[in-house]
């Protein structure tokens, strides 16, 4: 045991002298994939994970998948046509990454009963869930819940504030449990 | 400026900061209406311990005054004990139909006994009396008990001064579930959370609250024992869990779950076991409240196209529509006496408290505000507590079920919402 350990420690020290050790998260999988790649070079995206432990493509503002909000008209609970591409992009990602889960949070504006609004927010979350399901996302990857009027994005009391609060948000969680919920 | 006055000024500043901090946690009450025929009553000072007497008689007088049903007659600074002969003619000429006298006796173990007697000056008879053993911390509670006795003797209905209320304060990004006496005093925080808390409801025994907390990033129903602070989850199914309503026997809760799609009514034992589905609709069913006899449940549903109040058997079955006027009638709350139903009705864009007489189905709008929410009956069915908005801030308002008497309760430092009036003191 000792004989095997010492060279391993030495090589670790030597590597340590020449380069800064990478944190485990950013080290990626190049060593294992080397044999599988025909060129012998694994493509690595720098900084694969963001602060919440999610892949950058879910949070990078340049990625379509970073768009997580679907807005609804007053007293309406259908996903509007302008959000069909967005929902499709998330469905494609979830179908390709079965380990990922989403929490769909429905929201309403502040007018009316808190509990009734909770149920209306649920209707909005359900509408997004149905769209994802129709595109093949499995039931086990989706939970739809409602925050009702309790967590307004815009704390104002006018039409534009209310429009911002009639919304469903998509939150992601990776297979290892890290993520946004 | 000499050293002494500088010190005293500093002390004064510290003192006022402290009292400002205390004041912000208290509800203050403003009365904006009164009953048509107020009973004139005089509460004299109670001989014995003067400071204890002041606390008790001030509590009794404030309670009676706040109810809007009594007119307090000046007691001319008199201190009269409960056994002293009453000069009925004298009190009649002062305008008092009733008179309460009493005394405070301190026992050797440091406790106090507050005795009192109530007299009818018109009929020149005693209406009875009582004695409450109390300590300094409970003096106001003794005052509430005396006020309840006087209220019941003179109106024929049970008083609710000894009851407690629960409500949620939103202040500096925190949500506080608070419990206070019915006059807003003695506020204590049962739960502090950085996520919203809604829909608190009292168990019929007054020892527990059920509510919805968002601390798990989604609505989950909890039951919380107030004395021990112990809480447990009653409903945390996939989806949203909300709108708890206790059965009158305190064994079950009606809850709203979205685990099978849209919001539907279920019942569950208070320990979270024995889940049963009550409604099966293709839309929203929510805000369940058991009727006083426990046999039926009033709830809100959009099954007819707009949110309206319906009634269904406690175990399910065919639902019957209860409200018809207007396109938005929500938050049904049957009165404890089973005679009426309070709910929130949208009229010309304003959300207002309305009450339906369940026998005649007559509806009366009780408020002139625009953002009423979450009505809650006092256990004697005489007053209804609601959340409303004044100047952009959440306040509580108590309205008599005939709409004549209105009280407003505000917290200096925040928004108050989601009131729930507790059961009778047990």
Find out whether B281 and B303 touch, Cβ atoms under 8 Å.
Answer: yes
Q: What is the mean pLDDT of residues B360-379?
A: 95
- pLDDT tens readout for residues B334-348: 999 999 999 999 999
**Which residues from A are below 8 Å from B when comparing CB atoms?**
103, 105, 111-116, 118-123, 126, 143-148, 150-151, 157, 171, 181
Average pLDDT value for chain A? 82
What is the chain B residue with the closest CA to A110? B371
Q: Are B208 and B224 in contact (CB under 8 A)?
A: yes
pLDDT tens digit sequence for A158-169: 999 999 999 999
Q: Does B172 touch chain A (CB under 8 A)?
A: no
B288-330: pLDDT as tens digits? 999 999 999 999 999 999 999 999 999 999 999 999 999 999 9
Structurally, how many domains does chain B consist of?
Answer: 2
CA distance B146 to B375: 27
| pLDDT, tens only, B164-213 | 999 999 998 999 999 999 998 999 999 999 999 999 999 999 999 999 99
How confident is residue A75, by pLDDT bands cut at 50, 70 and 90?
confident
CB nearest to B240's CB, from A111, A146, A151:
A146
Cβ contacts (< 8 Å) between A143 and chain B: which residues? 218, 238-239
Please tell me whether residues B212 and B144 are part of one structural domain.
no
B118, B135, B155 - which closes a domain: B155
In degrees and rounded to multiples of 5, residue A28 shows phi and psi of 65, -155
Residue B3 lies in a domain: no
Among B155, B181, B203, the domain-final residue is: B155
Q: What is the pLDDT of residues A96-128, one digit of tens each?
A: 999 999 999 999 999 999 999 999 999 999 999
CATH homologous superfamily, domain A47-173: OmpA-like domain (3.30.1330.60)
Residues B148 and B188 in one domain: no
Residue pairs between chains A and B whose CB atoms are closer than 8 Å: 97
Across chain B, what does the average pLDDT equal? 91
Give the pair of three-digit tokens for residue B261: 């799609």
| Euclidean distance between CA atoms B205 and B49, whole angstroms | 34
Domain contains B57: yes
CA atoms B89, B94, B99, B100: torsion sign: negative
Cβ atoms of B165 and B419 within 8 Å: the answer is yes
Percent share of chain B, pLDDT over 70 = 91
- Asked if A147's CB is within 8 angstroms of B242's CB, the reply is no
- pLDDT of B18 over the 60 cut: no
Task: Please name the residue of chain A whose CA is at the shortest distance from the CA of residue B239.
Answer: A145
**Cβ burial B90-101 (10 Å sphere, 16+ → b, else e):** ebeeeebbbbbb
What's residue B266's pLDDT? 98
Residue to mutate among B217, B255, B343, with most A CBs inside 10 A, is B217
pLDDT of A51 reads 75
Residue of B135 and B410 predicted with greater confidence: B135
Q: pLDDT at position B26, please?
A: 66
Indicate if B142 and B182 belong to the same structural domain: no
In this predicted structure, what is the pLDDT of residue B40?
A: 96
Flag whether B411 is in a domain: yes
* Mean pLDDT on B13-33: 50
> Please, which pLDDT band fits residue A39 given cuts at 50, 70 and 90?
low
Last residue of a domain, one of B155, B188, B223: B155
Least CB–CB distance from B263: residue in A105, A122, A143: A122
Q: Looking at this predicted complex, what is its ipTM?
A: 0.90
Range of the domain at B53: 29-155
Distance (Å, whole) CA B16 – CA B342: 42
Q: Is residue B14 part of a domain?
A: no
Calculate the alpha carbon distances from B161 to A92, B115, B148 in Å.
61, 18, 6
* Per-residue model confidence (pLDDT) at position B11: 36
Q: Are residue B212 and residue B241 in the same domain, yes or no?
A: yes
Q: Are B149 and B256 part of one and the same domain? A: no
The CATH number covering residue B71 comes to 3.40.50.10070
Instruction: Assign A40 a pLDDT band (cuts: 50, 70, 90).
Output: low
* Residues B325, B399 within the same domain: yes
Tell me the nearest-neighbour CA distance from B211 into chain A, angstroms: 12
A79-91 mean pLDDT: 97
Q: Which residue of B has its CA nearest to A146?
A: B240
Cross-chain residue pair A116–B239, CB shorter than 8 Å: no
Supply the pLDDT for residue B34. 67
Residue B289 near chain A (CB below 8 Å): no
Domain-wise residue ranges, chain A: 1-44, 47-173
What's the pLDDT at A42?
Answer: 60
The answer as to whether B24 is a domain residue is no
Q: By CA distance, what is B244's nearest residue in A?
A: A115
pLDDT at B10: 39
User: Do the chains contact at B373 and A181, CB–CB below 8 Å?
Assistant: no
The enclosing domain of B171 has a CATH number of 2.120.10.30
Q: Same domain, yes or no, for B216 and B293?
A: yes
**Yes or no, beta carbons of B214 and A119 under 8 Å apart:** no
DSSP conformational letter for B339: S
Domain-embedded: residue B13: no
Question: Residue A147 — very low, low, confident or very high, per pLDDT cuts 50/70/90?
Answer: very high
The CA–CA distances, whole Å, from A17 to A9, A10, A27, A47 equal: 12, 11, 17, 22
8 Å CB contact of A126 and B262: yes
Closest by CA to A83, choosing from A6, A147, A1, A167, is A167
Residues of B in contact with A116 (CB under 8 A): 284, 286-287, 300, 307, 330-331
Contact assessment for residue A128 and residue A79, using Cβ atoms and an 8 Å cutoff: yes
pLDDT of B423 reads 97
Are the C-beta atoms of residues B383 and B163 closer than 8 Å to each other?
Answer: no
What does the pLDDT read at residue A43?
53
Q: Which residues of B touch A111 (CB under 8 A)?
A: 351
B80-97: average pLDDT? 94
Confidence check: pLDDT of B30 > 80: no
């Amino acid at each position: 045991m000792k004989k095997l350990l010492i060279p391993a420690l030495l090589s670790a020290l030597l590597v340590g002298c020449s380069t800064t050790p990478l944190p485990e998260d950013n080290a990626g999988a190049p060593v294992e994939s080397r044999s599988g790649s025909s060129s012998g070079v694994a493509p690595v995206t720098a900084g694969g994970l963001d602060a919440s432990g999610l892949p950058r493509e879910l949070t990078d503002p340049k990625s379509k998948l970073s768009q997580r909000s679907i807005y609804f008209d007053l007293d309406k609970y259908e996903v509007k046509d302008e959000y069909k591409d967005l929902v499709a992009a998330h469905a494609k990602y979830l179908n390709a990454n079965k380990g990922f889960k989403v929490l769909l949070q429905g929201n309403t504006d502040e007018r009316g009963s808190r509990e009734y609004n909770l149920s209306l927010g649920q209707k909005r979350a359900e509408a997004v869930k149905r769209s994802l399901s129709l595109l093949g996302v499995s039931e086990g990857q989706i939970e739809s819940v409602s925050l009702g009027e309790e967590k307004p994005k815009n704390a104002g009391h006018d039409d534009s504030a209310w429009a911002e609060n009639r919304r469903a948000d998509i939150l992601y969680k990776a297979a290892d449990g890290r993520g946004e919920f | 400026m000499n050293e002494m006055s500088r010190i005293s000024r500093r002390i004064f500043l510290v003192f006022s900061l402290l009292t400002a901090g205390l004041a912000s946690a208290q509800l203050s009450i403003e009365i904006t209406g009164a009953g048509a025929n107020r009973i004139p009553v005089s509460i004299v000072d109670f001989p014995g311990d003067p400071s204890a007497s002041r606390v008790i008689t001030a509590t009794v007088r404030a309670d009676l005054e706040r109810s809007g049903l009594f007119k307090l007659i000046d007691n001319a600074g008199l201190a009269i004990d409960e056994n002293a002969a009453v000069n009925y003619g004298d009190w009649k000429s002062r305008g008092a139909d009733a008179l309460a006298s009493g005394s405070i006796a301190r026992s050797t173990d440091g406790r106090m006994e507050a005795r009192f007697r109530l007299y009818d000056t018109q009929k020149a008879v005693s209406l009875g009396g009582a004695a409450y053993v109390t300590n300094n911390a409970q003096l106001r509670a003794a005052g509430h008990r005396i006020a309840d006795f006087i209220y019941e003797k003179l109106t024929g209905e049970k008083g609710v001064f000894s009851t407690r209320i629960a409500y949620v304060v939103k202040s500096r990004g925190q949500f506080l579930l608070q419990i206070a006496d019915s006059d807003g005093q003695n506020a204590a925080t049962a739960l502090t959370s950085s996520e919203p808390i809604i829909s608190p409801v009292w168990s019929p025994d007054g020892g527990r609250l059920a509510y919805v907390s968002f601390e798990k990033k989604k609505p989950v129903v909890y039951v919380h024992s107030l004395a021990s602070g112990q809480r447990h989850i009653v409903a945390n199914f996939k989806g949203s869990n909300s709108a708890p309503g206790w059965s009158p026997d305190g064994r079950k809760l009606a809850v709203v779950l979205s685990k099978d799609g849209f919001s539907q009514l279920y019942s569950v034992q208070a320990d979270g076991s024995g889940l049963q589905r009550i409604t099966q609709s293709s839309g929203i069913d929510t805000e369940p409240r058991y009727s006083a006899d426990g046999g039926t449940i009033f709830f809100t549903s959009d099954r007819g196209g707009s949110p309206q109040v319906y009634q269904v058997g406690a175990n399910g079955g065919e639902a019957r529509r209860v409200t018809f006027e207007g396109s938005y009638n929500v938050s049904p709350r049957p009165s404890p006496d089973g005679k009426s139903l309070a709910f929130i009705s949208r009229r010309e864009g304003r959300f207002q408290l309305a009450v339906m007489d369940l026998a005649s189905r007559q509806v009366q709008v009780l408020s002139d505000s625009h953002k009423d929410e979450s009505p809650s009956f006092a256990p004697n069915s005489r007053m209804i507590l609601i959340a409303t908005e004044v100047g952009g801030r959440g306040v509580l308002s108590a309205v008599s079920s005939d709409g004549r008497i209105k009280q407003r309760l505000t917290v200096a430092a925040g928004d108050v919402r989601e009131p729930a009036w507790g059961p009778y003191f047990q």
